[in-house]
Chain A
């Protein structure tokens, strides 16, 4: 990989950081918990890296670590999105009821 390609990755890294700061300006406190658990689910994106490792030769250390990582990241992703959805539905139901 050339230095230019690497710098491109840094470029998207820096832009993402600024975007992350800007995206959640002035979030009402009501949404703090769902926002936290929703972004927490996104941090389960490590699942992508874990999948790449789990398909390595079965029985190798990398594959075993990858297997554990896939399990953990999937718990993070599935649990995170479902629990966030559960919370947000509570907010929504209440609105519909009124």
Chain B
């Protein structure tokens, strides 16, 4: 190989060898993501991409410029890596499966902040030179305008990703209320902040060494951080699957922008792959709600929705535990429809137990999974997998809906909007047009619910007042455990 490359001495690694190894890393990331998309290969895919990441880190450390930095610099690098690895391991080991959405949001925020800081550090380094031109010449960068644009973009996207993810983390972990929070002139303020960022970037790029260039850059950092916060503030819990996957995509784009500052090919490839695949997932989620991404980001959905939709007017019919037991006991075909409430009540193990007993009792048991049930893409699958529910019992919405009329009992556990028939037949409803699981077509519907209040979106659910629907109030886990006990008697 060295025949083709300029330098014959390969340790510490010269720049061309670093680039060569980065190509291998990029290939490993691509294979890794591809394999993550198939059930059989997903676990290996994750390992492949982790190997790519480890290689990228090792190669970077062995880079001639990094390696020659001296003992003290290496000590700091080691300390930083050790602290990060220890914290990362600790939270990955300790986190509960029910806390997965906020965990993903937090990690994502850290990634965004890292890109933000890298951009800031490079700008601070450039300021250390007598002139930006000198910095550009010493670092083989392209030109000052390009440097300014990529620095601004990394700060802008990274900043939004960080504060947006942290607020999503706080909302999902219920450290703050998950309900949409609207403030006056919200859209106008967000628009102004966005315009300010674009204008700041343009002014900065046109004259990176101008009189107020430094101040403009710092203002840009502050506004980006503020904007991430104000964008996520009005978004309600039900829309979180879309927001989380969008933030995930943004963290990749921030890394890509940082790659253009450093002219680093692996940063660009890996960041762009994450950015693009994140957009695909975001669109899948938005489609599952029949809404556009813009609508989700800017509408503050659910804040006033309840009043706009027609009142269902029907009566909620509670049912006792014993009666629910008799209904289930004689059922041959049962479908569980889990939602975020199952995650909150941590009821997945109790659900699995009841499902096992119903199967022993001779019933066919299935789980209907709505793509946006819960607070992140695939949330229900993760919880049910944790409880050892066999994969064959998990049915996707499109597959289970045609079979719903044959279902004896549909048990809705903490799901609301994803089974609301208003989405299909009430054009006035804010969720009209969203594909739902047709629980209403089952012969009997039992709804497990904490209390009589409306769900997360604040909408009345017409399913709950149908003639063949019964409400079983109480903590889902508790109720299910008691049902299991009834069967065992």
Contacts and interface: CB of A to CB of B under 8 A. Distances in A.
A27 to B, nearest CB: 4
Given A16-B272, A36-B376, A90-B386, A1 B141 contact: yes
Interface residues of B, number: 116
Interface in A83-98: 83-95, 97-98
Given A71-B83, A75-B87, A23 B33 contact: yes
Contact of A46 (B111, B140, B396): B111
Interface string B36-56: 111100110111011001001
Interface stretch (B257-265, B322-330, B432-440): B257-265
Given A3-B142, A51-B61, A16 B117 contact: no
Interface of A is mostly: helix
A31 B245 CA distance: 13
Contacts, number: 382
Contact of A74 (B30, B80, B142, B268): B80
B281 A32 contact: yes
Contacts of B104: 33, 36-37, 40, 83
Interface of B is mostly: helix
B280 A20 contact: yes
B484 interface: no
Nearest to A48: B60
Interface size class of A (residues with CB under 8 A): 35 or more
Contact of A45 (B42, B53, B74, B125): B53
B379 A33 contact: yes
B274 interface: yes
A25 to B, nearest CB: 7
21 contacts: A21-B279, A23-B273, A24-B33, A33-B379, A34-B42, A35-B37, A35-B378, A36-B104, A39-B252, A39-B274, A45-B270, A47-B53, A49-B115, A54-B76, A63-B76, A70-B80, A78-B84, A81-B49, A85-B50, A89-B43, A91-B385
Interface of A: 1, 3, 5-6, 9, 12-13, 16-21, 23-58, 60-63, 65-95, 97-98
